[in-house]
């Protein structure tokens, strides 16, 4: 436990929810002990494109324990979520069972509800569905070419002309396959109605949005829906928005007059609840002989589903990372019979940086220039994506490069391909820049100081495993001096004061000021009570001016005297015989500030691979990440976020790929054995360094977000390292042994 007071901000604090998690006391969605729960198991389509000709439930209905079978033919359609009109968002705008069409493999076409999970699963396998099947569009080449204006278009200067006349050019196309979120806890919801009130026990990155969406699709007043999600077994973006199983649970619970639990099985995690879409990205760089970028052109094609539009904004990062006068960016969408994509950790920037930072490496090689020198030569002193350009709120990327160079030993790098050895293995060193846009939203927080000497902070945000609980306690502790073990934090309940969705690495920056203001408000109430309560040592007799008070170390004291001279704050409350005093605050970013500066985190990532050419084996052996993300509020949680993201990046570069069968749109590797993520054995010792420059633009603590940036440059840095070792440029992720054997690489896109 850190010591209370100022030092607790920035300390390496163990998470306060850790003991509950490791002892199994933490309740995840399906752990909530409700009476009389029935289980819903979905019947998912086994074809990618079809009309449902008939559904025969006669056998299934007669099976033991079966309570109901819901499908489009016997269920009142749900409403669509209002989305942009109401700032709500569902994973997929089409609610389940809206019509008789199958738009993708794994779409829910029925839900069997039974007394037990096993009964429901058994009956679900006996529901007979007949489809009128059409050929699904699964590969990019199956889709009609994109029509109409691009979804994203950006232009500055004259990039066509500048590229045309550039003396040095790179023009390559890069592909990232579909990647699937695989949090440990699969999507799950228990829905329980009490007359017209609905409680949903869910696993989500946003209880407030979840509540809103469910109220919209059910046509129920907002206050009748409550969403509870005290713990989330990770989301990685996949749980930002509610998916069909939540709506089906609510429908089914209404139908059978019992709470109903619905979990998405691992196989449907690959089809039915989002994924990072495939992107095919052409990157053109034009430069002068001495390495000054004169043109960048970034063109992206990305599939979305047949039922919704999801845009993976890959080009934004290209428009801001380097100084370049002439730039165009375009992104087109095509439609495939694959479920709706959704944000995955670092949406847009992570896939966008792969081609940009790969192409920069290719350019450096062509120019015979050090890749860091090339990046410094094109260092963006301001954010040129705006017109006129905006200054950065705080940028220390140069120092990230420098720190990385020193710690990694970059000066010992021989740029010659295959020139560096360790025993029988060839080493490859690569690097890439990383960045993430910093943002902040609105939040309301309530803080209560209790007469038993404890404090409680509450907010309808949630801790998705990142350490949000702990950050709340840290700020309350810093302001009051109450130790962490006497501070209770209550999150993950939509009936609490409105808090942010945990996404975009914005939660910390958003909630910090609200916690601080709410704590101050609660303290002020206590100080006020201290002067107004007979029996309090600070009670101001009639006519006398109240002394100027403060609170520190959990004690109320006269401001210009030491805390020890005062009394424990709870003494004021007990003297007044009240249980507690509350403070509440809502904070929002200042709109006047918003357009003045551009706020981003930055980083530099350095990777080493070892290649054993005799057996074509390539492994990651070192990974250093240097991050400029403002102040780090909790070193332990912060480091954990970065290192976890690097592990994910190793998966992205070396392993991950959802492989679809073009014949029926099934992801063939829809399980944990066949969909490869990094195991511990794939991950070397990881190092993370923060260069800490507080960025007071976002909040008084100077903190930006760190949830995503750690992933941003890993894949290109690794691919650049692989090139350095092997001379092979991998432009289609993930790296495969085929790449270094010169063999045809299975490319199902």
- Catalytic residue annotation: 708
Binding part of the chain for another protein, among 217-225, 580-588, 641-649, 740-748 by CB under 8 A, reads 740-748
Smallest gap from Cβ 56 to another protein, in A, equals 17
- SS3 of 642-689: the string is HHHHHHHHHHHHHCCCCCECCCCCCECCCCCCCCCCCCHHHCCCEEEE
Instruction: State whether residue 88 is helix, strand or coil.
Output: coil
Least separation, in Å, of the C-beta of 300 and another protein?
Answer: 25
Residue whose tokens read 């992206």: 300
Shortest Cβ 269–another protein spacing (Å): 16
Q: Is 63 in the site for another protein (CB under 8 A)?
A: no
The answer to whether 121 contacts another protein (rule: CB under 8 A) is yes
Note whether 141 binds another protein by CB under 8 A. no
Question: Taking the mean position of all CA atoms in its chain, how far away is CA 431?
Answer: 23
Q: Quick one: which of 674, 696, 700, 727 contacts another protein (CB under 8 A)?
A: 674
242: tokens are 């509610």
Q: Are 616 and 679 in contact (CB under 8 A)?
A: no
SS3 per-residue string spanning 529-587: HHHHCCCCCCCCCCCCCCCCEEEECCEEEECCCCHHHCEEHHHHHHHHCCCEEEEEEEE
Q: By CB under 8 A, which span of 130-138, 203-211, 564-572, 663-671 interacts with another protein?
A: 663-671
Q: In this structure, is the dihedral angle defined by the CA atoms of residues 357, 360, 365 and 369, taken in order, positive or negative?
A: negative
Q: How far is CA 226 from the centre of its chain?
A: 23
Q: Which listed residue (1, 53, 559, 737) binds another protein by CB under 8 A?
A: 737
* Alpha carbons 286 and 164: distance in angstroms, whole number: 8
Of 31, 668, 692, 729, the one binding another protein by CB under 8 A: 668
Which stretch, 156-164, 214-222, 448-456, 664-672, contacts another protein (CB under 8 A)? 664-672
Distance of closest approach, residue 48 Cβ to another protein, in angstroms: 12
DSSP letter (8 states) at residue 204: -
Least separation, in Å, of the C-beta of 739 and another protein? Answer: 9
How many residues touch another protein under the rule CB under 8 A: the total is: 34
Q: With contacts defined by CB under 8 A, name the span among 71-79, 319-327, 462-470, 737-745 that binds another protein.
A: 737-745
User: For residues 50 and 698, which CB has a smaller minimum distance to another protein in the complex?
Assistant: 50
User: Considering only residues 420, 654, 688, 717, which one is a binding residue for another protein as defined by CB under 8 A?
Assistant: 654
Instruction: Confirm or reject binding of residue 736 to another protein (CB under 8 A).
Output: yes
Through-space distance between the first and last CA atoms of the chain, rounded to whole angstroms = 50
Residue in this structure with the two tokens 């099947």, named with its chain if needed: 133
746 binds another protein per the rule CB under 8 A: yes
Query: Interface with another protein includes 679 (CB under 8 A)?
Result: yes
The two tokens of residue 286 are: 């034009």
82 is a site residue for another protein (CB under 8 A): no
Instruction: Pick from 255, 258, 440, 666 the residue near another protein by CB under 8 A.
Output: 666
Nearer CB in complex with another protein: 306/655: 655
Q: For 156-169, b where at least 16 C-beta lie within 10 A, e where not — what string?
A: bbebeebbeebebb
In sequence order, which ranges of 165-303 are alpha helices (DSSP H)?
207-218, 244-256, 266-269
Considering only 619, 635, 636, 729, the residue that binds another protein (CB under 8 A) is 619
Does residue number 360 form part of the binding site for another protein (CB under 8 A)?
no
Separation CA 239–CA 167 (nearest Å): 47
Angle 445-448-449 from CA coordinates, rounded to 5°: 145
Task: At 459, list the tokens.
Answer: 């907010």
**Which CA distances in Å does 36 have to 42, 124, 263?**
20, 20, 17
Closest distance to another protein from the beta carbon of 741 (Å) = 5
User: x/- string (CB under 8 A) for another protein, residues 381-420?
Assistant: ----------------------------------------
Interface residue with another protein, options 133, 168, 417, 676 (CB under 8 A): 676
**Residue 184 is a binding residue for another protein (CB under 8 A):** no
Residues that bind another protein (CB under 8 A): 46, 121-122, 125, 614-617, 619, 654-655, 659, 661, 663-664, 666, 668-669, 673-674, 676, 678-682, 736-738, 741, 743-744, 746, 748
């Amino acid at each position: 436990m850190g010591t209370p007071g100022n030092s607790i901000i920035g300390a390496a604090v163990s998470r306060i929810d850790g003991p509950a998690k490791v002892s199994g006391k933490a309740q995840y969605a399906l752990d909530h002990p409700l009476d009389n729960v029935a289980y819903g198991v979905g019947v998912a389509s086994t074809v990618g494109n079809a009309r449902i000709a008939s559904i025969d439930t006669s056998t299934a209905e007669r099976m033991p324990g079966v309570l109901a079978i819901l499908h489009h033919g016997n269920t009142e359609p749900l409403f669509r979520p209002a989305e942009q009109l109401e700032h709500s968002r569902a994973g997929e705008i089409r609610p389940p069972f809206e019509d008789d069409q199958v738009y993708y493999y794994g779409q829910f076409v029925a839900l069997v509800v039974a007394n037990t999970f096993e009964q429901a699963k058994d009956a679900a396998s006996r529901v007979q569905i007949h489809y009128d099947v059409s050929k699904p569009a699964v590969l990019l080449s199956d889709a009609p070419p994109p029509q109409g204006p691009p979804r994203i278009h950006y232009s500055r200067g004259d990039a066509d002309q500048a590229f045309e006349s550039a003396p040095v050019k790179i023009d390559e196309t890069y592909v990232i396959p579909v990647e699937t979120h695989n949090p440990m806890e699969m999507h799950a919801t228990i829905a329980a109605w009490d007359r017209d009130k609905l409680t949903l026990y869910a696993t989500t990155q946003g209880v407030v949005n979840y509540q809103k969406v469910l109220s919209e699709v059910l046509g129920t007043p907002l206050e009748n829906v409550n969403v509870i999600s005290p713990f989330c077994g990770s989301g990685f973006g996949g749980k930002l928005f509610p998916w069909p199983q939540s709506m089906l649970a609510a429908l089914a619970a209404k139908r059978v007059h019992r709470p109903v639990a619905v979990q998405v099985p691992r196989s449907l995690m690959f089809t039915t609840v989002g994924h990072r879409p495939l992107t095919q990205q052409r990157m053109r760089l034009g430069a002068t002989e001495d390495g000054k970028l004169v043109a960048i052109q970034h063109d992206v094609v990305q599939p979305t589903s047949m039922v919704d539009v999801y845009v993976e904004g890959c080009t934004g990062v290209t428009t801001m990372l380097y100084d370049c006068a002439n730039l165009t960016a375009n992104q087109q969408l095509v439609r495939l019979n694959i479920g709706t994509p959704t944000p995955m950790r670092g949406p847009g920037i992570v896939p966008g940086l792969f081609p940009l930072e790969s192409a920069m490496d290719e350019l450096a090689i062509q120019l015979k220039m050090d890749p860091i020198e090339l990046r410094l030569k094109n260092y963006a002193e301001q954010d040129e994506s705006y017109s006129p350009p905006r200054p950065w709120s705080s940028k220390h990327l140069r120092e990230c490069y420098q720190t990385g160079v020193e710690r990694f030993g970059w000066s010992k790098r021989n740029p010659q391909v295959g020139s560096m050895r360790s025993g029988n293995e060839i080493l490859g060193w690569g690097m890439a820049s990383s960045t993430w846009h910093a943002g902040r939203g609105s939040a309301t927080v309530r803080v209560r100081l209790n007469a038993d000497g404890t404090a409680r902070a509450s907010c309808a945000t949630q801790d998705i495993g990142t350490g949000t609980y702990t950050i709340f306690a840290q700020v309350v502790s810093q302001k009051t001096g109450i130790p962490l073990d006497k501070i209770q934090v209550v999150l993950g309940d939509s009936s609490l004061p409105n808090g942010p969705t945990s996404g975009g690495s914005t939660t910390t920056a958003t909630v910090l000021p609200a916690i601080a203001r709410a704590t101050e408000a609660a303290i002020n109430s206590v100080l006020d009570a201290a002067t107004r309560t007979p029996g309090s040592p600070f009670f101001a007799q009639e006519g006398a001016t109240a002394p100027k008070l403060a609170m520190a170390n959990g004690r109320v004291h006269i401001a210009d005297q030491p805390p020890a001279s005062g009394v424990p704050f709870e003494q004021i409350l007990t003297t007044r015989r009240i249980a507690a005093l509350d403070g509440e605050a809502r904070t929002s970013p200042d709109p006047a500030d918003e357009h003045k500066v551009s706020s981003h985190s930055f980083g530099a990532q350095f990777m080493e691979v070892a290649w054993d050419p005799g057996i074509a084996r390539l492994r990651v052996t070192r990974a250093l990440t240097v991050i400029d993300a403002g102040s780090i509020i909790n070193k332990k949680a912060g480091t954990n976020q970065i290192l976890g993201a690097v592990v994910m990046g190793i998966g992205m570069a070396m392993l991950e790929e959802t492989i679809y069968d073009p014949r029926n749109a099934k992801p063939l590797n829809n399980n944990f054995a066949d969909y490869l993520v990094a195991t511990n054995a794939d991950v070397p010792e990881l190092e993370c360094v923060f260069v800490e420059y507080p960025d007071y633009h976002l909040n008084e603590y100077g903190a930006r977000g760190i949830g995503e940036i750690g992933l941003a440059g890993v894949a290109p840095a690794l691919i650049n390292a692989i090139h350095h070792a092997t001379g092979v440029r991998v432009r289609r992720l993930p790296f495969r042994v085929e790449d270094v054997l010169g063999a045809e690489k299975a490319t199902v896109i």
